[in-house]
Amino acid sequence: MIPTAALRRSPRGAVPRGDRRALWGWLFVSPATLLLGLFLLLPILMALWVSLLEWDGQSNPFTGGRADFVGLDNYRELFVEDGLDRTLFATSLRNNAYFVLIYVPVATALSLGLALIVNQRLIRGRGLLRTTFYFPSVTSAIAVSTVFLFLFQGSGAVNSLLSWVGIEGPNWFADARGVVWVVLGAIGLVDPDRPSGFLAEQGFLGLTWFEWLSGPSVAMCTLLFLLIWTSSGTFMLIFLAALQNVPQELEEAAALDGVSRRELLWHVILPALRPVLFLVLTLALIGSWQVFDMVYIMGQGAPGNTTLTPAYLSYQSGFGEADYGQGAAIAFVLFGIILVCTGVQRWLLRERNARFGRTR
Amino acid sequence: MTTTAPTRRELRAEERSRRGSPAVGRFPAPWRVLGYTLVGCLALLYILPFVLQAVTSFKTDPDAAANPLALWPSPPSTAAYERLFGLSEAGDSVPFMRWLGNSALVTVLVTTGRVVFDSLAGYALARLPFRGRRVLFVLLLAVMAVPNVVLLIPRFLVLNTFGMFDTYAGMVIPLLVDAAGIFIMKQFFESIPREVEEAARIDGAGVLRTYWSVVLPMARPALITLTIMSFQGSWNEFTHFLVSTQSSQYETLTTGLARFVAGGLGSGTQYPLKLAAAALATIPVAVLFFAFQRHFVRGANAGSVKE
C-alpha cells in the first residue's frame, strides 16, 4: 500500500520511472485523443483559415487551388459593410435574440413548474407524469418537427382548435409579421403595414428600428413552441434532481414554524434551487443559439427571413451559396457568442458551488 | 428566517404531524380538483401531438387534410405503412428501408465506438497517472464547450480534405468519440473505491487485466447509461449526416425524412406518409426510453454536470 499512497500524493507530472501505468494511460487515451483532434480541433483550425478566404468549395483550399485570401473581409461584410450579407446577418441576430428573450424565461419557468408538480408527494401518477413531460425530449428533432408541421398547417389541428373558441388562426408558416406589431396593430396603436417616422427611417446594421423591434414573427413562434415543448422535460429533470436534494428536515422545520405553502416555495425551496436555476437559465441560453434541426425542417429562413438564425445562415452561406468563407466566418461569430454564454455559466456556477460546497 | 412562531401555528403544525400527513398539508378540495384539471390539461399538451401523429398515419390523404383533429381515422388505412415498407407502388421516392438500414448501421457502429473509446479514455483520465493527463483533461473540457452547430462547415472541410466526404467512413468515424461521454465515464471511475484496483494490482494483475475484469464490471450502470445516450444521440443525429453526405444512398432516417418534409415543397400533402415515417423513426428510441427510463434520467442530469 505504501508505494501507491506515496504516488498518489506525488506532485503532478512526476510519475515514477518504470510505472507501466503511464504507458497504458497514453494507450487508453490515444484513440479518443486522435479522433477528437482530427475531427474537432483540426476542423476548427481549418475553418479559421477558410474564414479568411473567398472559396467556393470546388478545389482544395489548403494547397492554393482556386481560393483567394481576403483577410478579414468575410467578417467585415457581417458587421461593417452595408450590403445583403450584413442585413441577413443582422436579421438572423435579431431573430435569435427574440428567441432567447422568450425561450429562456418561458422554458425555465415551465420546467420549474413541471418539476414542482411532479415532485408533489400528494399527487397521484407522478411517475407517469414525469414520463409524459420528458418523452418529447428524447425523440428526434426531425420527427417532432414533422409532427409540428402537420399540427400548425393553415387548416391544421391547431387552427381547428382555435376556431372552436372563435379565433381565426394565422397561416403559421407563411406569416412573416412580427408579433409585437400584430398585437399593437390589433389594439389600434400602430399600423403594421405602414411604419412611420423615426422607426422606419433610422436603423442599425442595415435593419430599421421598425424591423429590430418587431418581435419574433408568427412563423418563429411555432419554432418557439416546439423548442419549449421538447426541452422543458430535460430541464424539468434537472430541477427535479435538485428538488429531491432539498433536505426533508428543512421543509419539516418550516412546517413546524407554520409557514404557508407559498412562503415555503418562496423562502425555502426556491433559494435552495438557486444554483440549479442558474444552471438551467444558462443551459437554455446556450441552447437557444444552437437550434438548427428544427429551423431546417420548419422554416429554412422563410418566410421573409424571419426564421433565419445565425446557425442556419452559416449553413446556408456555405452549402447553399457555396460561399464557405462567409459561412465559416458566421460560424465563428456564433461560436464566440456561445463561448461567452458558456463562460458566464461556468463563472456563475463556480461561485455558487464554492458557497454551497461547504454547507452540503 | 425566524425560529420562533406563534403558538397557534405551532399547534396547527403539531396537529398535522399527529395525523401523519407530510410536512405541508393537502390543498383544500376545490383547489385540488382545479389542480388536477390543470395538470391533466398540461399532460394532454404533451401527449396529444403524438396521439394525433399516430392516428393520422392511419388516415387517407383527403381525410388527414379535412379532419386534422379527428381522433379516429375514417376510413382507416395502412397505405402509408405499406408504401414505407415497399409493399405497394412508388416506394422509390421514399426509400424508407434504405434509410432504416443506414440509421441502424451507423447507430450500431457509433454506439460501439463510443462505449469502447469513451470508457478507455475516461478510465485513463481518472486513474492512470501519465504525463499530460491534466492538460488533456482541460482540453477535454474545452472541447465539450464546442457546439455542434459551429462544426457544420469545419467538419465538411476536414472530410473533404481527407476524401471521406460522402462515405460511410465520413459519417461514422467523426462520431466515434464524444467528449461528454468521456467526462461521464471519468466521473464514474473516480467514484469507484481505489482500494479495489489496488488490491487487484497487488495480486499481480496488470492494467489491462484490472480494467477488463475488475473495473469494467463495476462500471456497468455507467456503461448502460453511456450506451443508451450514444444510441439515442446517433439515431437522432442530423447535422453531421447533413454535411458529411450528399448522395441519397447514404440517407438516414433523419436526413431522408428531412429531405422529404422540409422546405415547403410538398407541404400540406402526404401527411399520413410523413407522419408514419416520423413515427417509425421514433419507435426505437421510444422503446429504449420506456425500458430504461432511469438511465435516460441519469444521462440528462449527467449532461448538465458543472465543473
Q: Are B227 and B115 in contact (CB under 8 A)?
A: yes
- pLDDT value at residue B30: 81
Does residue A195 lie within any of the structural domains? no
Q: For every one of its 360 residues, what pLDDT tens digit does chain A have, with 9 covering 90 and above?
A: 344 444 444 444 444 555 788 899 999 999 999 999 999 999 999 999 889 888 877 777 776 666 778 888 889 888 888 888 888 999 999 999 999 999 999 999 999 999 998 888 767 788 888 999 999 999 999 999 999 999 998 888 888 888 888 888 788 887 778 877 777 777 777 766 666 666 666 777 777 777 788 788 888 999 999 999 999 999 999 999 888 888 878 777 877 887 777 888 888 888 888 888 988 998 999 999 999 999 999 888 878 888 899 999 999 999 988 889 999 999 999 999 999 988 888 788 775 554 444 333
Query: How far is the first Cα of chain A from the last one, in angstroms, to the nearest whole number?
Result: 31
B284 vs A191 pLDDT, higher one: B284
Name chain A contacts of B13, Cβ cutoff 8 Å.
255-258
- pLDDT of amino acid B302: 62
Contact B257 A143 (CB under 8 A): yes
Candidates A35, A43, A154; nearest CB to B151 = A43
Whether residue A64 lies inside any domain: the answer is no
Q: What's the pLDDT score for residue B21?
A: 45
Res A275: pLDDT: 86
Residue of A nearest to B50 (CA): A147
CB contact under 8 A, A32 and B177: yes
Name the phi and psi angles at A18, rounded to 5.
75, 5
In chain B, what are the domain boundaries?
106-302
Does ipTM top 0.95?
Answer: no
Query: Domain B106-302 is classified in which CATH homologous superfamily?
Result: MetI-like (1.10.3720.10)
Among the partner residues B50, B68, B156, nearest to A156 by beta-carbon distance: B68
Q: What is the pLDDT of residue A155?
A: 81
Shortest CA gap B262–chain A (Å):
5
CB contact under 8 A, A147 and B278: yes
In this structure, is residue A169 part of a structural domain?
A: yes
What's the CATH code of the domain at A224? 1.10.3720.10
Q: How confident is the model at residue B282 (pLDDT cuts 50, 70, 90)?
A: very high
Q: Does A154 touch chain B (CB under 8 A)?
A: yes
How high is the pLDDT of residue A106? Answer: 96
Residues 6+ apart with CB under 8 A from B256: B94, B95, B96, B98, B99, B248
For A144, the closest chain B residue by CA position comes to B278
- pLDDT greater than 90 at residue B67: no
CB contact, 8 Å: A183 with chain B? Answer: no
Which residues 56-95 of chain A have a CB within 8 Å of chain B?
57, 60-62
Nearest CA in chain A to B155: A43
Query: What whole-number distance in Å separates Cα of residue B115 and Cα of residue B107?
Result: 12
Contact (CB<8Å) A151/B68: yes
Number of domains in chain A: 1
Segments forming the whole domain that contains residue A295:
77-178+215-359
Domain-embedded: residue A58: no
Whether B128 sits inside 8 A of A40 (CB atoms) is no
In a domain, A51, yes or no: no
Cα B287 to Cα B233, B237, B284, distances in angstroms? 15, 18, 5
- Three cell numbers, residue A18: 518504470
pLDDT of residue B258: 92
- Which residue is closest to A143 within chain B, CA to CA? B278
d(Cα A334, Cα B150) in Å, to the nearest integer?
A: 7
pLDDT for the residue numbered A57: 75
What per-residue confidence (pLDDT) applies to A7?
A: 44
User: Does residue A7 lie within any of the structural domains?
Assistant: no
Which residues, 6 or more positions from B38, have their beta carbon under 8 angstroms from its beta carbon? none
Of A24, A43, A139, the CB nearest to B154: A43
Give the pLDDT mean for B283-301.
83
CB nearest to A47's CB, from B153, B258, B301: B153
The reply to whether A3 falls in a domain is no
Task: Decide if B153 and A324 are in contact by the 8 Å CB cutoff.
Answer: yes
Between CA A181 and CA A187 the distance in angstroms is: 10
Q: Are strands A53-55 and A67-69 parallel, antiparallel or unpaired?
A: antiparallel
State the pLDDT at residue A3.
Answer: 44
Check CB contact under 8 Å for B161 and A46. Answer: yes
Sign of CA dihedral A118, A124, A127, A130: negative
Residue of B nearest to A164 (CA): B69
- Please state, in angstroms and rounded to a whole number, the distance separating the CA atoms of residues B130 and B114: 22
Q: Which of residues 254-313 of A touch B (CB under 8 A)?
A: 254-258, 261, 264, 267, 279, 283, 286, 289-290, 292-293, 296-298, 300, 302, 311
How many Cβ atoms are within 10 Å of A20's Cβ, its own excluded?
A: 10
Residue A136 forms part of a structural domain: yes
